[in-house]
Amino acid sequence: MKYTLKKDGKYTYLESGEGTPLIILHGLMGNLSNFDGVFDYFSNLGYKVIMPDLPLYTLPLLKTNVKYLSKFLKNFVKHKGIDKYILLGNSLGGHIALYHTKLNPNNVIGIVLTGSSGLYESAMGESYPKRSDYEYIKKKTQNVFYNPEIATKNVVDEVFETLNNRNKLIRTLAIAKSAIRHNMSKDLPNMTLPSCLIWGKNDTVTPPDVAEEFHKLLPNSELNWIDNCGHAPMMEHPKKFNMHLENWLMKNFKPKN
């Protein structure tokens, strides 16, 4: 990615393009680079693409939860002066997008979920008993993807560092427990905005039946599958991911020329 992180007060983010705002939210073990292909493509297609760096490891422990991260997003868009926007989230990012939409239905005009939590997910485990075992963490990280080669050494190193940093580990567990508490099943039927689901057919973290449940509960949703793909379609199959997203955007939020 050729873009430089912007620092504006307490916010750090990437931003490029002009048009309808498309705000991307990364996952718990993810980072902004997971969305390189999405960011580059859509910022040149008539959308203002914005990716905030979520403060997963810097918030006070009592505020390290889905609810407060949704509030962080609200403060961020207010700071940016954005009133109407589309949200795109992977894993925890999708959950934050859903909770934010629940509380701000007049601001979110569309939502895109990929491997989202909010209903059910199978994480590495609550206590990470083998977190000091690099090979164990490597294997667990590879299992997130259909193609284990996507879990490069840099990706594995980041996960390993997170789980062996006491501050980050405590907050990782706090967010994971918060995700379980904030189940969205009762809220989804009330979300009538256009919704796009892009799911890996081989996702083991949020399996295909989770996508089916999201599709059933979200009244105005479209479900797109990507074969030979795990929990992060935008990383494993960026071109296919972008194709599904572009088709959905063109049907619902075609950019103005």
Q: Is residue 139 part of a domain?
A: no
Q: Which helix (H) or strand (E) holds 102?
A: helix 92-103
Domains identified in the chain, total number: 1
pLDDT value at residue 33 = 85
CB 196 within 8 Å of CB 244: yes
Structure-token match 């039927």, residue found: 189
CB 15 within 8 Å of CB 6: yes
pLDDT value at residue 142 = 92
Structure tokens of 202?
């081989």
pLDDT value at residue 132 = 81
Structure tokens of 218?
């979200």
Q: Is residue 129 part of a domain?
A: no
Q: Is residue 103 part of a domain?
A: yes
- Taking phi over 0 as left and psi of -120 to 50 as alpha, with beta for the rest, 228 belongs to left
Reported as a single tens digit per residue, the pLDDT across 37-86 is 999 999 999 999 999 999 999 989 999 999 999 999 999 999 999 999 99
Query: Is the pLDDT reported for residue 120 higher than 90?
Result: no
Q: Could you tell me the CATH number of the domain that includes residue 104?
A: 3.40.50.1820
Structure-token match 């040149």, residue found: 44
Q: Is residue 157 part of a domain?
A: no
CB 55 within 8 Å of CB 72: yes
Q: Is residue 57 part of a domain?
A: yes
pLDDT value at residue 125 = 44
Query: Is the pLDDT reported for residue 2 higher than 80?
Result: no
Helix, coil or strand: residue 171: helix
Q: Fill in the amino acid letter for 6.
A: K
Helix, coil or strand: residue 232: coil
Closest CA to 223 of 188, 242, 195, 192: 195
Query: Is the pLDDT reported for residue 137 higher than 50?
Result: yes
Range scoring the smallest mean pLDDT among 45-59, 112-126, 228-242:
112-126
Q: Is residue 144 part of a domain?
A: no
pLDDT value at residue 128 = 55
Q: How many CA atoms lie within 13 A of 107 on its CB side?
A: 21
Q: Which helix (H) or strand (E) holds 169?
A: helix 166-181
Burial of 129 (0-12, 13-18, 19+ CB in 10 A): exposed
Q: Is residue 208 part of a domain?
A: yes
pLDDT value at residue 256 = 63
Sign of dihedral through CA atoms 62, 190, 87, 157? positive
pLDDT value at residue 225 = 98
Q: Is residue 165 part of a domain?
A: no
DSSP state of 84: S
Q: Fill in the amino acid letter for 77.
A: V
Domain that holds residue 62: 6-121+184-252
Comparing 27 with 15, the larger pLDDT belongs to 15
- Residues 252 and 47: their CA atoms lie apart, in Å, by 13
Q: Which helix (H) or strand (E) holds 174?
A: helix 166-181
Q: Which helix (H) or strand (E) holds 224?
A: strand 221-226
